[in-house]
Amino acid sequence: MRESLVSVVIPVFNASKYLAEAIDSVLAQSYRPIEIIAVDDGSTDDSLAVLRGYGDKVIVIEQPNGGQGVARNTAVDNSSGEYIAFLDADDIWDPVKLEKQVALLERHPEAVAVYCDHCVIDSNGDVVATTAALGGPRVSGRILNNLLEYSVIVTPSLVMTRRSAFDAAQGFDVESPRWAEDHGLWLRISYLGPIIYDITNLVGYRRHDSNTYNGPSANFAIGNICALKRLLAFLSSDENPALIENIERKIYIKTIELAFRYVGNGDWRSGIKTYLRAIRVRPFCNNAWLGLINIPRLAMKRWV
């Protein structure tokens, strides 16, 4: 029986410090056949030289800087595998990662993707935690409703998806903030079918100064809203009215959260505009009205 080709997608931007370790972890995989497609996204360090040092073991594509979502989409467009696995240039894989994930997808033809668990490693590659600061309980099956509540898949490095599902979900969201590029895709893929969770730690998810998460921000809220709006456009309004209503409610809630963050940062103008945007969506819900009315009192407190 012919083994299915796995395309490994690596977006690269100024990652020379960790890149060889990431690629070596792919070359050490127990599963074959694989192809590695690395897209250098306008790096200004030695990343391109590191990639070229692997010769024909890595397909290297160069492009001007466009962000990780653009780089991943470019890599997929130039790949030919039935399965697609994503690896960030500073993360590493356990040697059996691809073998286990291919086996799960072939054992469960109804599943559209699989993701595993991970450990957190520092800049030296030392394990510092077995769970990430982001995300909620890991789940399997039709997980769209879970993804609407919290981030289950904390990094693309955990995921293998069928090419057919990636294409149907229309790839990464290249016009959204960075975090939403990933989350938006997982939302749409999870709508298409079941996603399998493997409890095994098969990924070293690296935390270092340039990728440390510092908690929710206005950009984080904007990313949530972008991902939800893209999901809403992806769906047909007559398919599942209850799901459509749930997504619209989430957009309203996230818009209020964004307004609250603006106000908390003293950006009154953006806060007012965002509350008014929420009111236009749901004029008879009082949350946005209460937030808007409260702005003068909060402003006075800051000025006194």
Distance (Å, whole) CA 214 – CA 177 = 16
Q: Where are the domains of the chain?
A: 6-206, 235-303
Q: Which fold has domain 6-206?
A: Spore Coat Polysaccharide Biosynthesis Protein SpsA; Chain A (3.90.550)
| Spatial contact of 231 and 184, defined as CB atoms under 8 Å apart | yes
Could you tell me the two tokens for 129? 């935690």
pTM: 0.89
Question: From first to last of its 304 residues, what are the pLDDT tens digits of the chain?
Answer: 568 999 999 999 999 999 999 999 999 999 999 999 999 999 999 999 999 999 999 999 999 999 999 999 999 999 999 999 999 999 999 999 999 999 999 999 999 999 999 999 998 988 998 764 445 678 999 999 999 988 889 899 999 999 999 999 999 998 877 767 899 999 999 999 999 999 999 999 998 766 555 455 678 888 889 999 999 999 976 678 889 999 999 999 999 989 888 988 888 888 889 888 888 888 878 887 787 888 777 666 665 4
C-alpha dist (Å) from residue 146 to 152, 161, 183: 8, 18, 12
